[in-house]
């Protein structure tokens, strides 16, 4: 019975940690990548900016 309780806690911990890793609060881009994206997007239309974002999508 104690093994089942430990496994339950482990499953909950894995779910919470994976949710935190996949949530929108994470920063997928490094500082250098953001600077490059900004340089490419300045003065572009919204359509062109979306294409640039697709190129950098992780």
pLDDT score for 53: 83
pLDDT (0 to 100) of residue 12? 92
pLDDT at 26: 55
Count each helix (H run) and each strand (E run) in the chain, helices first: 3, 0
Q: Quote the pLDDT of residue 58.
A: 57
Distance in angstroms (rounded) separating the CA atoms of residues 39 and 33 = 10
Residue 9: predicted pLDDT: 92
pLDDT in tens, 1-58: 888 999 999 999 998 888 776 766 656 678 888 898 889 999 999 999 888 888 877 5
């Amino acid at each position: 019975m104690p093994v089942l309780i430990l496994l339950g806690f482990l499953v909950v911990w894995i779910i919470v940690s994976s949710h935190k890793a996949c949530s929108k609060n994470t920063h997928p881009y490094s500082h250098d990548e953001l600077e490059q994206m900004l340089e490419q997007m300045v003065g572009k239309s919204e359509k062109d900016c979306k294409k640039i974002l697709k190129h950098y999508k992780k």
